[in-house]
A = this chain, B = another copy of it.
């Protein structure tokens, strides 16, 4: 048996105030046919990636709807995770030489976990990301409907790795990508679906803290409440361009004396790159007392992030490359204007500059931040429009409904297709 992550059940009732009684009723209706159905979400870790946050929110909601949903974890050794980390980067376009050793490691652990899965029966299994994509192959034939959910940008994948993965993907009943642009051109499959990820408005990161509490938190963390503040809350890695944020900030500060910058990042335990970037940031800001670097090492957690997203004048998301960039929706949900780089899923969230401004470089970033700091009414208006955009498109309840509709479409095809025979070359 695979390990389970217990996350308890959670009633949809709590979301009524946000999506209305009709919204809740619609989801209940979509879930009705699946009462008692057995569904597993399978991924590789309980922490560290956006997918974990999603599962932590959505699996309890399935359960609250009377569906027997499990969150299952594969088990593997570090050698497997170094291979899959490389695969992941390669599928996102990083140069990579696929070796026979890497293939074998990947297959060995997927095979082992597929074996473990044979002891369990599910009506639907949703497998997340490349790490576990071959598990369906090794699980063997069954009555289960299989979905592979890809959370990364595979628009320009390393060809060798994609080719290696394609036969495994072909065995799924459906493949889900975050957006059309992320679907690899070489992929041929009878059922490719897109669903954007979403934020949970009731999670500690998004639940809505009072302005007074937010101000207290910021003050205690060293922010002067009488001076303007801009923030980027994002991993300290080169793709999020924290050094570019500092550069943009300094450009703006030359026009807005006293402007403060908060850089908030979570330090992964074992990620050398993140530590290197942290050191570079610390060196870069040495002696610059208006820049504040905040991490989980000093107890900064989801709720502090929320307070900064809520109480900053502008939030920046300067990612050079981005999966979906859910931090943008998190911030828009708080009604705070965002200036974000046009990368990954960000333009989709802020289409039409709703919620702030999309930009293409550091100078434009600085110019837009300055504009929002100087035009408070416009900033407020854009912030509120951003919140409404998120309410309509990027809440977890929308994602839940999308998933239930996909399950329904697969269930109606139940038994009519032998999954592994159904991969119709395009």
Chain B residues with CB below 8 A from A286, complex form: 3
Chain B residues closer than 8 Å to A270, beta-carbon distance? 269
* Residues 250 to 277 of chain A near chain B (Cβ within 8 Å): 266-270, 275
CB-contacts of A66-109 with B (<8 A): none
Q: Is the CB of A304 closer than 8 A to any CB of chain B?
A: yes
Q: How far is the CB of A204 from chain B (nearest CB, A)?
A: 5
What is the CA–CA distance of A205 and B304 in the complex, to the nearest angstrom? Answer: 11
Q: Is the CB of B6 within 8 A of A289?
A: yes
Complex: A305 Cα to B217 Cα, angstroms: 15
Overall SS of chain A's interface: loop
Looking across the interface, which residue of chain B has its beta carbon closest to that of A209? Answer: B213
Bound: A205/B298 CA distance, A: 11
Shortest C-beta distance, A38 to chain B (Å), equals: 17
Chain B residues with CB under 8 Å of A295's CB are 47
CB of A10 within 8 A of CB of B219, answer yes
Interface size class of A (residues with CB under 8 A): 35 or more
Per assembly, the copies of the chain total 2
Binds B, one of A153-161, A220-228, A340-348: A220-228
Which residue on chain B has the smallest CB distance to residue A292?
A: B6
Chain B residues in 8 Å Cβ range of A292: 6
Q: How far is the CA of A205 from the CA of B104 in the complex (A)?
A: 47
Question: Distance in Å from the Cβ of A130 to the closest Cβ of chain B?
Answer: 21
**Which residues of A (199-247) have their CB < 8 Å from a CB of B?**
200, 202-205, 207, 209, 213, 216-217, 219-224
Instruction: Tell me if A60 counts as interface (CB < 8 A to partner B).
Output: yes
Would you give the 0/1 interface string for A295-328, flagging 1 where the beta carbon is closer than 8 Å to chain B?
Answer: 1111111111100000000000000000000000
Task: Please name all residues of chain B whose beta carbon is closer than 8 Å to the beta carbon of A223 when the two chains form the complex.
Answer: 8
Q: Tell me whether A46 is interfacial, beta carbon within 8 Å.
A: yes
CA A300 – CA B301 in complex, angstroms? 5
CB-CB contacts below 8 Å: A31-73 with B: 46-48, 52-53, 56, 60
Interface residues of A in 7-48 (CB under 8 A from B): 7-8, 10, 46-48
Residue from B8, B46, B200, B297 in contact with A47 in the complex, judged by beta carbons closer than 8 Å: B297
Question: Apart from A8-B224, A53-B299, A301-B301, what 6 extra A-B contacts exist at CB < 8 Å?
Answer: A6-B292, A47-B297, A202-B220, A204-B299, A207-B216, A209-B213
Q: Can you identify 18 A-B contacts, CB atoms within 8 angstroms?
A: A6-B292, A8-B224, A10-B219, A46-B298, A47-B297, A52-B298, A53-B299, A60-B222, A200-B220, A202-B220, A203-B220, A204-B220, A204-B221, A204-B304, A268-B269, A268-B297, A269-B270, A296-B296
4 tightest A-B CB contacts, nearest first: A301-B301, A299-B302, A47-B297, A303-B303
